[in-house]
Amino acid sequence: MTYHFSEMSKRKLQPSASNPNQDYCEFLLELAEFEKNVSRNIYKHNAYRKAASVLSHHPERITSGEQARQLAGVGRKIADKIDEFLQTGHLRKLDKIRASDVAVATAELSRVSGIGPAKARQLIDGGVRTLEELRARPELLNRHQTLGLRYVTEFESRIPRQEVAAIERHVLQRVAELDGRYRATVCGSYRRGAESSGDVDLLITHPDYTSDGGAETGRGRSAAGSATARGRGRSAGGRLLGAVVDHLSQDGFVTDTLSQGDSKFMGVCRLPGDQYTTHRRLDIRLVPHDQYHCAVLYFTGSDEFNRKSRMSPASVERISLSVGKGPHGRGPRTRPWGPLPTLREILSTEAGLIRDFLVETGQVTRDDMLKKKKKKKKKKHRPEDATESVFSEDESEQMRAHALEQGFTLNEYGLRPLGTTGVAGEPVPVSSEREVFEYLQYPYRPPEQRNL
């Protein structure tokens, strides 16, 4: 059986006739899928994907590994692979991977939604190595995996922008029919202006559903109160989400459910009519009404844009998290507790609470916190198959410390000031996505300019 790992990445890779480095992107994504599904090395997986993304956005043909190394996110080993590919037309590492029966079988089985590396290995150990063999053993699969196998080819095909727009129009119309107070936005690569998408990411909210439990107290009257009998016993959020899913299922738009909880639905959809006949992956996420704009910002992405937005001023975009005037001249965002500790103070025993908070939330590792200050500044070294970050280890450390010193944390749940104990306070009220940028004193970028 001949199989290339790159086939698994076609849904994630946005093909473009204007991409002069498409061949590099394809072999890097093939390596990335091998590292994720076979080697299970998430760091190399992220490094290969990062390099592929950088190369796909570079407007000129890369003609050497040395030239590639000038791009942030391309390390020495990846540059060496580009040189090897240019000289020989193939990669020895990929040749070995493609010759491995286990690696090829893992890649084949992992094409199915719901089958990860562990399940793939379990199937291989049980004598299943191809999709044809898997179809003959349906008892080995759960519901999600069964549907993933049924629609494997359709899920792998990318969704043209025109079709996503038609899905958006249909969903917004149906949701408005249900309850005009719902708000819905299609996020992800579509909102960033991509010509095609891998799936449809829909974010919804309702004023009866807030982070302080407003919906739980029964305030207001909405679709949550009129959900079908199937929704009885759910939380208020579950009823609001369930009402939307039920309504979208009535006309056959939602065809199957992969999983459904109180705040997230993962399923399959297909537009009514004869124009669009392919089944598509659909994710619907319900977020609290007061967190909606931060959530739209976060789930629009891209991942790299989100990382840079959180990481502060030494980045390429010089993101500023400094405290100053709020948007619309609403006055300074003062901190009554005074300035937060410096990095030196954080390392002291008196700042133990903050140190533990940083470690527990993943902003720094314990090794970072205990690292002694170097007497001599060493020459900066880029990790060969670098990490997700485009910065050196030292720069990332400084940026994490700076972001903390400014006293804010930003994620999909909101923009919050940090207290002296490192505990996030109440979220800053925002009424639009643009306002999040204004609070952070960061130049606003429309969604289509966030493909970093």
* Residues assigned a catalytic role: 81
Rounded distance, CA 317 to CA 216, Å?
Answer: 41
Do 411 and 343 contact (CB within 8 A), yes or no? no
Rounded distance, CA 43 to CA 399, Å?
Answer: 20
What token pair was written down for 220? 């207001």
Do 148 and 114 contact (CB within 8 A), yes or no? yes
Q: Helices in 272-392 by DSSP H: which ranges?
A: 292-300, 303-311, 343-346, 352-360, 366-370
Do 426 and 344 contact (CB within 8 A), yes or no? no
Rounded distance, CA 286 to CA 223, Å?
Answer: 13
What token pair was written down for 173? 């119309």
Extended strands (E) in 248-403: 254-260, 264-269, 280-286
Rounded distance, CA 271 to CA 279, Å?
Answer: 8
Do 340 and 404 contact (CB within 8 A), yes or no? yes
Torsion of CA 360, 365, 366, 371, to 10 degrees: -150
Count CB-CB contacts under 10 A for residue 296. Answer: 21
Rounded distance, CA 306 to CA 407, Å?
Answer: 18
Per DSSP, what are the bridge partners of residue 415?
410
Ordered strands of the 280-286 beta sheet: 183-186, 200-205, 280-286, 264-269, 254-260
Closest listed residue to residue 405, CA positions, set 317, 312, 332, 336: 312
Closest listed residue to residue 262, CA positions, set 285, 289, 295: 285
Closest listed residue to residue 145, CA positions, set 256, 282, 246, 1: 256
